[in-house]
Amino acid sequence: MKCVHRIADNELVLLQNGTVFFPQLCADIQAAQHSIYLETYIFAADETGQRVAAALQCAAARGVAVRLLLDGFGSAELSEHYVQQLRSQGIQVQWFRREISPFTWQRSRKRRLLRLHRKMAVIDGEVAFIGGINIIDDIPQHSDFTAPRLDYAVRLQGTLAAEIHLAMRHLWGVVSWASIRRRGKEIRQFILHEEAAVFTPEIALLLRDNLRHRRDIERAYLKAILGAQREIIIANPYFLPGSVFRRALKHAARRGVRVVLLLQGKVEYRLQHYATHALYDQLLAAGVEIYEYQASYLHAKVAVVDEQWSTVGSSNIDPFSLLLAREANLVIQHQDFARELRESLLSAIAVDALRIGTEYCDRPNYFARLIARLCYGFVRILIGVLRLRRQGT
């Protein structure tokens, strides 16, 4: 039975993995009366994608306005034929920066590396979803895994759903105007409204953009870490924080706070995976506990601090999320919600994770460390190039 948390005029339900998320999402789509907005980084034409697409098609057939916004890189494998089928069924589909040219550095193409990485949906402006779950099969295809990716989303009803609806409408408008190469007062209004974050003392919607809110999600993490008294638990698959973030974690551990990191144990993207290993020595030396998830891929981007503060969203703690992507996280100050998320993470750690202990430092594999340092160095060079390019825009 799902636990409903009532927080600041909102009802929140924590959803773990697609096995819970997709049935709930499809049920709410099937109940839609007026409008559906769905944003996702990956929309796959697999069994899960077909299931969600069928629900969207049924909604469009009964007159619901259905708008689907896909990232041009994350959903690049989706064929044009499939997209045209969606459109023929009454679903409005738009691409966020479909032109992909990672090795073309001309000024006019600099913004092509900026991605839409957030995963959100809103139905009738009343029910919203936000988290890290893409529209893709829960168990990775062409793998030996029997367990699903570990991931989370939040379903919410209340005042914040209306704000999410407004933010999604405005980004849809921005992409619509950009697609016909129009500039003017309207598009500036879209951007200025869409970049605003929504706060109450108990819950905040943070929308990272590439304008005035580039560091909002990172700053929320840092504030929670610096104020931690007892425990910090962070689950993140691509963990490459900057020096300020790393220092905050190490200082917390040294002042007696239990700091727990649940990281990717299976190699999904080699560069990020091995680059993260270059940070293990300094984190372990400071007393940070590191666990690697083994049951499947880890995809969760969540954290809990002192059983009171928590966040669920799409943002990795790496330069690609923190420098390039549009992200969306909820930050929640609520003990019962934080405890539910904490218990889920501790269960995953106890059952499906391997602790990286002092033997990592005592018996080093020099070749593995060389690979890790080379990957980390490459990432740092890439970050430097991207920062220079951003300064030139």
Which of 110, 124, 137, 251 is flagged as catalytic? 124
Predicted confidence band of residue 225 (pLDDT cuts 50, 70, 90): very high
Question: What percentage of the chain has pLDDT greater than the value 90?
Answer: 65
Cα R_g (the chain), whole angstroms: 21
Listed range (69-73, 141-145, 210-214) with the worst mean pLDDT: 210-214
pLDDT value of residue 360: 61
Residue 119: CA count within 13 A, CB half-sphere: 28
Let me know if 124 is a catalytic residue. Answer: yes
Q: Which residue has the higher pLDDT, 318 or 151?
A: 151
Q: Which has the closest alpha carbon to 41: 120, 127, 147, 101?
A: 120
| Residues 317, 155, 335: CA angle, nearest 5 degrees | 70
CATH of residue 103: 3.30.870.10
pLDDT at 128 over 70: yes
Examine residue 202 and state whether it is found in any structural domain, yes or no: no
pLDDT value of residue 117: 94
Q: What's the mean pLDDT when you consider all of the chain? A: 86
Let me know if 306 is a catalytic residue. Answer: yes
pLDDT value of residue 363: 59
Let me know if 334 is a catalytic residue. Answer: no
pLDDT at 110 over 70: no
Residues forming a β-bridge with 28: none
Examine residue 387 and state whether it is found in any structural domain, yes or no: no
Predicted confidence band of residue 146 (pLDDT cuts 50, 70, 90): confident
Examine residue 344 and state whether it is found in any structural domain, yes or no: yes
pLDDT value of residue 379: 67
pLDDT at 188 over 60: no
Let me know if 352 is a catalytic residue. Answer: no
Which of 151, 299, 334, 352 is flagged as catalytic? 299
Predicted confidence band of residue 242 (pLDDT cuts 50, 70, 90): confident
Digit-coded pLDDT (tens) for 34-43: 999 999 999 9
Could you tell me if 242 and 366 lie in one domain? yes
pLDDT value of residue 359: 62
Could you tell me if 273 and 191 lie in one domain? no
Could you tell me if 189 and 227 lie in one domain? no
Predicted confidence band of residue 184 (pLDDT cuts 50, 70, 90): very low
Examine residue 201 and state whether it is found in any structural domain, yes or no: no
pLDDT value of residue 74: 93
* Distance (Å, whole) CA 102 – CA 224: 34
pLDDT value of residue 102: 47
pLDDT at 248 over 70: yes
Q: Which residue has the higher pLDDT, 360 or 276?
A: 276
pLDDT at 186 over 70: no
Averaged over 85-111, what is the pLDDT? 72
Listed range (236-245, 251-260, 329-338, 383-392) with the worst mean pLDDT: 383-392
The domain of 340 spans: 216-381
Which of 306, 318, 334, 352 is flagged as catalytic? 306
Listed range (2-11, 208-217, 254-263, 367-376) with the worst mean pLDDT: 367-376
pLDDT at 195 over 60: no
Examine residue 351 and state whether it is found in any structural domain, yes or no: yes
Averaged over 41-48, what is the pLDDT? 96
Q: What is the pTM of this model?
A: 0.89
Q: How many CB atoms lie within 10 A of CB 104?
A: 12
Examine residue 349 and state whether it is found in any structural domain, yes or no: yes
* Distance (Å, whole) CA 109 – CA 138: 34
pLDDT at 270 over 50: yes
Could you tell me if 242 and 145 lie in one domain? no
Which of 5, 28, 71, 117 is flagged as catalytic? 117
* Domain end marker among 195, 228, 262: 195
- Looking at the structure of the chain, the number of domains it has is 2
Could you tell me if 97 and 26 lie in one domain? yes
Which of 165, 170, 301, 334 is flagged as catalytic? 301
Could you tell me if 26 and 138 lie in one domain? yes
Digit-coded pLDDT (tens) for 336-387: 999 999 999 999 999 999 999 866 655 566 666 667 767 766 666 665 555 4
Let me know if 299 is a catalytic residue. Answer: yes
Could you tell me if 99 and 235 lie in one domain? no
Dihedral of alpha carbons 375, 376, 380, 381, sign: negative
Could you tell me if 29 and 177 lie in one domain? yes
Could you tell me if 173 and 240 lie in one domain? no
* Domain end marker among 133, 161, 195: 195
* Domain end marker among 141, 160, 195: 195
Q: Strand (E) positions, 201-254?
A: 203-208, 231-235
DSSP state of 148: P
Could you tell me if 236 and 183 lie in one domain? no
Could you tell me if 188 and 65 lie in one domain? yes
pLDDT value of residue 6: 96
Examine residue 252 and state whether it is found in any structural domain, yes or no: yes
pLDDT value of residue 148: 92
CB-based burial label for 154 (10 Å; 0-12, 13-18, 19+): buried
Could you tell me if 191 and 222 lie in one domain? no
Examine residue 53 and state whether it is found in any structural domain, yes or no: yes
pLDDT value of residue 278: 82
pLDDT value of residue 143: 79
